[in-house]
Amino acid sequence: MEGLKSRAGASGRWQVGDVIDGQYEVRALHEQGGMGLVYRVMHQEWGIRLAVKSPRPELLTEDGFLDRFVAEAETWVSLGLHPHACGCHYVRTLDGIPRIFSEYVGGGSVADWIRDGRLYEGGEAGAQARIVDFAIQLAWGLDHAHSRGLVHQDVKPGNVLIDLDGTVKGTDFGLARAGAATGARTDVDRPGGTILVTHGGLTLPYASPEQAAGERVGRRTDIYSFAVSVLEMFTGEVTWLAGPAAYEALADHRGQSRAGGDEGAGHA
């Protein structure tokens, strides 16, 4: 992690139009995520757009938060490059705050596509084909992470980005943990084996049963959350309070479809 100097104020918060360290021009600020702010910057030397994730200043006073944030970022960097995983380039400290510099994906998240109806354009057939395509691409990205010994632990539509060419990329692997790093058993190479990790993040409506219960989780947790995310893509909304209850929503959706009460996917 490299310490650098910027022109931001004492709060460490950047404003649109700022040029940080003489090379990062701030183009936009996204007030997203309970843990941090996301900026869109232009790297003036490279001529490319980057996403920069910064923890909220108030979180930096929590015991151990800074070390956890940096460790999570380095885990994400270690994932390497894959067409269906948003790449994390590096971590730098600016204004005393660690910043995660990652690939910028310009088409918004699957959550955005659900909310604004883009996912359901083209009628029932078009929507279903798009949902299946997005799901397959996300599965490829998760498989890459699992093959590297990483479990995401917070798979949800908001953590799935769509590039302008339709490429789907999982993101926010900062909540992932490597089995070796936690001292947990890793059975990546054994057929049917589970990558065990000891802790991580979750969003309750997408959480697996073991995750919601606070138990140790593994690769199957991501698969469960993936399935719940696909369910939301088809229904167009979350009607369950916690991931373990999503099967009831699935049963209702299937029943409505058989009865002809839901003639399309989501808003189709």
Given a cut of 70, whether residue 176 has pLDDT beyond it is no
Mention the CATH class of domain 110-259: mainly alpha
Given a cut of 70, whether residue 177 has pLDDT beyond it is no
The confidence band for 178, taking pLDDT boundaries of 50, 70 and 90, is very low
Residue 188: predicted pLDDT: 36
> Using one digit for the tens of pLDDT, what is the confidence trace for 120-172?
999 999 999 999 999 999 999 999 999 998 999 999 999 999 999 999 999 98
Residue 181: predicted pLDDT: 34
Structure tokens given for 206: 């997408």
- Which amino acid is residue 70, in one-letter code? V
Q: Against a cut of 0.75, is the pTM above it?
A: yes
Catalytic residues: 154
Residue 13: predicted pLDDT: 84
Residue 184: predicted pLDDT: 36
Residue 5: predicted pLDDT: 42
Summarize the confidence of residues 210-218 as an average pLDDT.
Answer: 90
On the question of a common fold for 2-103 and 110-259, the answer reads no
Instruction: State the average pLDDT for the chain.
Output: 82
The percentage of the chain sitting over the pLDDT mark of 90, rounded to a whole number, equals: 54
* Closest-CA residue to 112 (of 170, 157, 166, 49): 157
Residue 267: predicted pLDDT: 55
For the chain, domain boundaries: 2-103, 110-259
CATH architecture designation of domain 2-103: 2-Layer Sandwich (3.30)
> Using one digit for the tens of pLDDT, what is the confidence trace for 217-254?
889 999 999 999 999 999 999 999 999 999 888 988 88
Q: Which residue has the higher pLDDT, 257 or 63?
A: 63
* Closest-CA residue to 206 (of 252, 161, 240): 240
SS3 38: strand
Exposure pattern of 242-263 as b/e (b: 16+ CB <10 Å)?
bbbebeebbeebeeeeeeeebe
Residue 107: predicted pLDDT: 94
* Closest-CA residue to 100 (of 84, 110, 88, 112): 88
Helix axes 219-235, 246-259, angle to 10 degrees: 40
